[in-house]
Every structure is written in C-alpha cells, then in structure tokens.
Structure 1
Amino acid sequence: MNYLIGVDVGTTSTKTVLYDEHAHVVDQFTQGYPLYRDSNGMAEQDPEKMVAAVEQVIHDAGQQIDFANEKLLAVSFSSANQSLILLDEHFQPQSRVITWADTRARNAADQLKRSPLGKQLYDKTGTPIHPMSPLTKLLWLKDTAPERLAATSYFGDIKSYLFYRFFNSFKVDISIASCTGMMNINSGDWDPTALELTGVAKDQLPEIVNGTTQAVGLTDEAVAKMGIPADTPFVYGAFDGALSNLGVGAIQQDTVAITIGTSAGVRVITDHPVIDPQERLFCYAVDNGLWVVGGPLNNGGDVYQWAVEHLVTPSAVQNEQTDPFTLANRVIEGEPAGANGLVFLPFLGGERAPLWDANARGSFFGLNNLHTRADMLRAVMEGICMNIATVYQAVCDLVGQPKSVTATGGFARAEVWRQMLADVLNCPVNIPESFESGCLGAITMAMKSLGMVDSLSAVQNFIGAEKSYQPVPETVAVYQKYLPLFQQVEGLLSPAYSTIAKLQRK
C-alpha cells in the first residue's frame, strides 16, 4: 500500500491525516501549541513550537507506514494564511508568528483604508484593508518599531518558514502569497506599490511558486525528527480556506462552501479574479487558473460557546444529564424562528467580512422583559447565521446565485444548525461525511502534482456521502423579514463601534 499525508497547520494546533493512495482515511494525529495574547490585540505563536508540532504529527503518521514494503508518496500542506515572521540573514526568527487574528495594526489599516491608495491596493491585490493582512502589519511595524524592520533581512509566513527549515529553500505558494495584500492578482508576483509602501524589497520575500510545486531533499535534521525518507516530496498546497473548498468538492462557481468552526468563512471558486466594487470580499488564488472569492468572519462557534457558557446553567445540565451544548441545541430547537422578536449582532471579536472593522462589538436588539435565556440562545445562533448570510449575499451579488451550499465545521454536527443555515440562506445545504476537508484538499493537490489525477475535480471521487437539508418555506419567510432588520441595525450601530472600543481599551 502507498500513502499520502495531509498536514493542516492551524492557529492553535496542527493536524495530519494519513490517507491511502485511494484517499481513504487511515489515521489522524493532532499536536497543539499556545496562542499568545500578552497584550491588547496581540495574537502570536511560537515558530519553534509550531515546527516541533508539524514534525511530531508527521512522525506519528509515518509510524503507521512500513517503509520496507510501503511508500509515502507525498506530504502536502494546508495552513492558516496572513501570518508574518521577521527573519535575520540566517533565516532565524526575530519575532514570533504574528497571526491573522492579531489586531494591533488597526490604526495603520484605518489610515490606509481612508486614503485613495487603499482602494488601489485592494483592486490590485484582492485583499481587503484590515489588520489581519501582512501588508498592514508591516505598516504598523514601520510606524511603531522601525528599528525592528531595519534589522530584518527576510519576511516570511509560517509555511515558507517551515519549508525553509525542512529544505533550506525560501519559497511560498501562490495561494498564501495572494493573501498577504502584497501580491498582484493579475501578474502573480509581488506588487511594486505594496513593496514601496512598506519599504520591503522583493528579494526579502519568498519566491512565489505554484501550489503543486514539490520540494525534495529533506535536511538531515528534518529526517531525524520526522522519521520519513529524505526523498519524500513535500507539496506546497494552499491556504486552509481554499483547500476546504476543494476538500468538499466546491470547485465550481455554482457551489458555495461555508465553514463554521471557531470563526467562519464563505467562499466560492472561480476561473478568473473577481474584485468587489464595495470591498466586502477577498479574491485570493487557489492555484494557477483558480481563484477563491469570499469573506472570512471572526465570529462563529466561539460566539456560540460564549453564549452557552453564560446562558446555560450548571444545574440545568445536571438535571438533564447531558453536556451544555447538547442541552442548548435542544432548547433552541423548541424556540420559534426569530427568537420572539430578538436580534443578536455577533461581533464579539470585531469583524472581518463584511464590515472589515476590528472595533465592531456585539449586541442584543429588541430585548424586553418577556425574553428568556432560551430566546437569547436562539438569537445568538440566528445572529451568527444571519451574519454569514450577509457575506453569502455579497458573494451571490458578484458571481451569481449558487445551486447549493456545502457546509462543514464543528457546527455541522448539530441538526439544528444545519437546518437553520438552509432556512436563513434559503438554499439547500449539503453536509459531507468527511469533516477534514483541508487535509483532503491538500492531498488532492499532491495527487495532481504526482500525476495521479489529471484535475483537482477528481476530489469528487473521494468525498463520500452527503446529507442534504432543504429550506422550509414557512421558516424562510420569517428570516426574510429578520435579515434586513439585522443589516439595518448593524448599519445604525456601526458609527458607534470605534467609540465603545476605545472606552473598552481604556
């Protein structure tokens, strides 16, 4: 038997899935690491802990292979995007990994967004102006720590750093590069305007390569840590959102993929770049000739977790002899659509799409003395879905109404979430059997790189069964009244977000 390993390098953990050559899951492994939030807005990782985690999970997967009689065909990578690492002349880290979740560049982002140059850069790079992007992180460092930039020889991300550690080669795939705010989506190369603005030279950035590019020739240290053959090809892959689309088979323009985990995302793949005149959505590369259009949302399952922790009492959990989330889902199922006239804006962690406002804050609207904890739980779940629907509508505005939605993430395990999403979107929602879509997308890119498949569309053969949820007309009619109200309230509160955020920071 031959094998492939898909690696998904995430914000708080790295996982691997070991597949056989027919893309059947054999085993999976996870290794966690901390996310440092030492100061207001900080969200950083330790690059050495991340390297160790990646080496460990690949080692664990490799232990399942009998290398005397079996072969590891390739290791392929999915990773979170929009990270930044400062490196010295020997490619040693001079900073921790500044992640997408770090918001300390908010002032730099606000200033750029208000200038004409902000719109020009969005049109050229497809990356909304927001603290998440390496572009604005570099502007923040340029303003607040110019001496650190002056002492930096190279600027990378977690994937380019990993590949450097494993192969002594400083390269990055086009998908990750396109998420930086510094790659021109038309030329596929680093954008001169972005380079001039940040003061970064092209040769200080990794070389941009296709996602199916292979790196071969692991260092002796990497071989010792991972315990796999030195000639094992490592395929660069893409960023996690793009590979999640691929891994659920949403690779045509008529299928939208929605992921709701800790955060959330709405994405559709096209065969050409699509720029949103209203700057609500991103446009990133998947690989040569494929683009993903959509929006990331900060607020997904983490908001629901907050609500369950604060609104479900321990005594109720004990009485029902179940866990808090199962109880909350059961309570919500018994509540009417619209939560008895209660609307929740789920912006507990600021928001990316569609607002692109790190100062956004959450709120209940319509609360009166008749409302209960059950109403509030239902409103929270509906608020998350309606926020997703706002991004979904923006995607439809640009690329057309899809035939269906494919949804994955932790939420997809609960029936009430699945049906609610179909009703709020007024579109069929399909839930695939496999939840590890990023790793499946990664090994599909490896298969294409190795010539095992002709096209990425071959992933359709590996996905397995799906369960479909159809919108219920009566419930759809309710949400079609509440969704415009949700958007109206958000518009009314938007001017006050910066004021409340400043008061909270004080």
Structure 2
Amino acid sequence: MTRIAAIDQGTTSTRCLVVEEGGSASCVAARRHTQYHPAPNHVEHDPEELIANIRAVVAEAGAVDAIAIANQGESCLAWDAETGRALSPVIVWQDARTTDDLKALGPEAEARSKAISGLPLDPYFSASKFRWLLLNNPDVADAHQQGRLRLGTTDAFFLDRLTGHFNTDPATASRTGLLDMATCQWSAELCELHGVPLSCLPEICPVDAGFGTFLDIPVKVSIVDQQAALRGHGCIAHGDCKVTFGTGAFLLAVTGNEPPRYGDLLPTIGWKCEGLDTVYALEGGVYDAGAALEWARNAGLFDSVEELDTFDGPSALSRGLVFVPALSGLAAPHWDRKAAPLFIGMDHATTRLDLVRAVLEGIAMLTIGLIEATETVVGRLSRISIDGGLSQNAYFAQFLASASGRTIVVPTMHELTALGLAAFCGIDVGTIRGQGRIFESDGSVSAAQRTRFEQALGFAKGWRGA
C-alpha cells in the first residue's frame, strides 16, 4: 500500500499528513513558525526555521514511499549556490515593501507585465522582492557578483537544500511575475524589467517530474499550495471552483488548457503534469482572512474559536455594523495596497462579539466580490467548495451561502492541499475528501445590506495614501 508524506509548508505552519492508497489520511505532525515584522509593510520568515520544520515533520511521518511538498507561492528568498546558505530572510507574499518601487515603473511596464505574465505590478508577487534583495542586501549583491547567487520561491530553496535539485514547477513560477504564460518559461523581457538575472532562477519542471530524494525517500511532487488544494477539491473541469480560507482567502477556478482572459483577476497555471497539457486557472485573493481573525483574537475580541460557532440575533451587517478586512490592503479585484481596515456602524450597545461577527462577515463579503468577478470569465458558479480553518465555522459558511446566493460545500476532510499532493502522486482521494456539509442560501442577506458593505469598502480604499 502506497503511503505519501504530504508536506504543506504554509504561511504560519508546516504540516505533514500521511495519505494512504485505499482511503485514509492522518495529520502526523505540525510545527508553527515565527512571523517577523521588522518594519512597516515587511513580513518575513526565517528560512532555516522552515527547513528545520520540514525535516522534523518528515521524521514523524514514519515509513513512507514518497514525499510531496506544497509551498507558499509568492514567498521568496536568496541563497548561496555553493553552500546552500540562505543569504536573506524569506520575504513573505503579504509583504508590501516594494509598493512604491513598482509604482515608479509606470503604466507601460504594467501593461507589458499583464501581456506576458498576466499579472499586475503588485508587491504580492516575487519579482520585485528579488530586485529589492539585490539592491538592499549586500550578501545577495556580493553572491551575484561572484556568480554563486540563487533566487527562488521557497520551493526551490527547499528542494535545493533537501535534494540538491534547483527546480520549481510552472504553477509556482506563474506566481512570480516573471513567467511567460504562453510558453511556461522565464521571460527575458520581464527579468530585465525587474532587474532580475535570469541565470539565477531555477529550472522549471512539471509538478510530478520527480525532484530527487530526501533521506532516501523520493520527492515525487512539488507545487504551490493553492493549486494543490484546487486538485484536492476534485476541481479538474472548466468552471470547477474552490476557495481556501487560510491566512488569506484564495479562489481558484479551472479554465481549461488555454490561458484565460483575466480582467481584474489573475490568470495562473493550475498545474502541468508530465506528458499532459497545461491546465490553467483564474485566481483571486483576500489578503486577510484567517489573519484578520487572528488579529481580532490578539485585540481581545474573542478568546477561543468555540465562541464563534453561533451568534444571537440578526447579522452584524443587517444592523449596519461593517468590518472591511484590509489589514494588508485589498487584493483582487481591487488591487489597492493603500486600503486600510475599517470598522463602521458601532453604537453604545455594540459588544466585542458583535465586532468579531462583523470580521467574519467582512471576509465573506470580500470573497463574494471574487466569486462575481470570476463569473464574468467562467460563467455562473452555483456550487463552490471551500476549505481551511474558516470553512469549519458553521456561521461563516452559512453567511457566505446566504450573502452570495450560492451553494457552499465543505468537504469532510479539510486538509485539501495535502489531498491534492497525494492526487498528483497518483492516489485516488475522492473517498477521503468526502461529501461533507452543504449550506444553501436562506435569503437572509438583502441587496441593500450588500450595498451597505460596498459603501464601507469605498471608505477603506486609498486610506493610507490620503
């Protein structure tokens, strides 16, 4: 019986699930890591801590036949090609330090970026982070001058250190802002635009190409976490859609074998398996989902998640109480890093649980904006599968269904990234995923209430630049 160690190296933790052919999956280990905020708009991780956590969770997996690793996507760093030593912290996808640098490139550069990579010039993506490291980190600049610099998203660092393979996959590469979506290869033009030496970037290989061995165990699959979750949800046909509610909320919808038109959302590569056509997808995100809820807990609005299972009385939104979860700005379809979080509509009777209820509803309302923007490309999304921590909150799932007017499905197994990794390894995960809970719209959220949220959203936009 095949046993896969599925490693989900995420924004706040590293988890390992052992998935077995025949229908079982269990979480065998989890390690949290530190989030560093050394300056405003800076978010960093210690790369050595991440590597140590991967090693630790693999050690707890026991005997397995293969390893599959999911990465954070846009988070990236620099390291020494000869020694493997990290030369920088990991600059996390939430980091916005390059906002002004990208704005200075101008509208013509933005148009070229969209034409080639499909992506706007936003600090969310890796390209400007690489450039920042070259300009601001003397160790990185020195390694480049000496011809021993490697630049990459975290997957390339993990693979290089663990297996000696300096590789990435097309899905992860499509999150950098440096990939030509038409050829699935690095774009020399975009590398020049951002001042990133193409020779320092990893080789792009299919997701299931095989990436050497770690502790004599084959590393069979490597891919970005959200695309792994898309496959884990069983989304393989045009219009299949999922939303993962982790640190952020990320919607992906399968669009087929041709790059989609993008509008305000992002074309991305879903996956590329050996010998098969590339599968493309459309993506939109909310920067702060679980992160907004964690902020609310740290601010003292609630103590435990059990408090959030049920609320008394009508919704916060119906009472005019709104929260816009823009702690890191607004992602698709707004693309406003100057937006700020906002509470509006409190009165003397407002309690802390009213406020945290508004936080949950605000995350759902931003997610609905993603759903509706996606529908302009792929058609009506009547049924949407969700996973991640917030998906386990019944109030949140029901509010999302009611406010969106769509059926929301929560699979029985909510570690969908791990299931996707196992699926790429050839394991049938449908039975493990399960049918789960289904939430239907009850009509409790009116058009007028949705308009009220849009008004608050307008107040939040551009606030930090005012």
TM-score, normalised with respect to structure 2: 0.90
- The answer for the alignment partner of 1:215 in structure 2 is 211
- How large is the Cα RMSD of the aligned pairs? 2.4
Match of 2:96 among 77, 97, 103: 103
Opposite residue 343 of structure 2, the aligned amino acid is F
8 Å Cα contact 2:301/2:355 also seen in 1 = no
- Unaligned 5+ segments in structure 2 are none
Alignment of 1:484 with 2:458, yes or no, is no
Report the Cα distance in structure 2 between the residues aligned to 1:212 and 1:366, rounded to whole angstroms: 51
Match of 1:115 among 78, 88, 107: 107
Report the Cα distance in structure 2 between the residues aligned to 1:85 and 1:100, rounded to whole angstroms: 11
The Cα shift of 1:48 comes to: 1.9
Report the Cα distance in structure 2 between the residues aligned to 1:4 and 1:379, rounded to whole angstroms: 40
The Cα shift of 1:34 comes to: 1.7
The one-character-per-residue Cα deviations of 1:59-95 (angstroms, maximum 9, x if unpaired) are 1102xx3xxxxxx332111111112221234143211
8 Å Cα contact 1:270/1:291 also seen in 2 = yes
8 Å Cα contact 1:350/1:358 also seen in 2 = yes
Q: 1:362 to 1:245 in 2, by over 3 A?
A: same
Alignment of 1:470 with 2:440, yes or no, is yes
- Unaligned 5+ segments in structure 1 are 66-71, 224-229, 314-322, 453-457, 500-506
Report the Cα distance in structure 1 between the residues aligned to 2:279 and 2:247, rounded to whole angstroms: 27
Instruction: Give identity over the alignment, percent.
Output: 25
Report the Cα distance in structure 1 between the residues aligned to 2:184 and 2:353, rounded to whole angstroms: 50
Map of 1:222-371 to 2, 5 A cutoff? Answer: 222-223=214-215, 230=216, 232-271=217-256, 272-277=258-263, 279-287=264-272, 288-308=277-297, 310=299, 312=301, 324-331=304-311, 333-336=312-315, 338-369=317-348, 371=350
8 Å Cα contact 1:275/1:283 also seen in 2 = no
- The answer for the alignment partner of 1:320 in structure 2 is none
- The answer for the alignment partner of 2:464 in structure 1 is 497
The one-character-per-residue Cα deviations of 1:446-468 (angstroms, maximum 9, x if unpaired) are 11xxxx6xxxxx54344223211
Q: What is the SS of the residue equivalent to 1:405? A: strand
Report the Cα distance in structure 2 between the residues aligned to 1:324 and 1:215, rounded to whole angstroms: 41
Opposite residue 250 of structure 2, the aligned amino acid is G
Opposite residue 76 of structure 2, the aligned amino acid is L
The Cα shift of 1:253 comes to: 2.9
TM-score, normalised with respect to structure 1: 0.84
Q: 1:495 to 1:37 in 2, by over 3 A?
A: closer
- The answer for the alignment partner of 1:48 in structure 2 is 48
- The answer for the alignment partner of 1:316 in structure 2 is none
The Cα shift of 1:374 comes to: 4.9
- The answer for the alignment partner of 1:190 in structure 2 is 186
The Cα shift of 1:142 comes to: 5.0
Report the Cα distance in structure 1 between the residues aligned to 2:337 and 2:286, rounded to whole angstroms: 11
Report the Cα distance in structure 1 between the residues aligned to 2:11 and 2:139, rounded to whole angstroms: 28
Opposite residue 464 of structure 1, the aligned amino acid is G
Report the Cα distance in structure 2 between the residues aligned to 1:75 and 1:376, rounded to whole angstroms: 42
- The answer for the alignment partner of 1:319 in structure 2 is none
8 Å Cα contact 2:361/2:396 also seen in 1 = no
Q: 1:181 to 1:405 in 2, by over 3 A?
A: same
Q: 1:336 to 1:32 in 2, by over 3 A?
A: closer
Alignment of 1:446 with 2:425, yes or no, is yes
Number of residue-to-residue matches in the alignment:
456
Q: 1:77 to 1:142 in 2, by over 3 A?
A: closer
Q: 1:426 to 1:102 in 2, by over 3 A?
A: same
Q: 1:214 to 1:362 in 2, by over 3 A?
A: same
Return the index of the structure with the highest Cα Rg.
Answer: 1
Alignment of 1:77 with 2:69, yes or no, is yes
Report the Cα distance in structure 1 between the residues aligned to 2:122 and 2:237, rounded to whole angstroms: 28
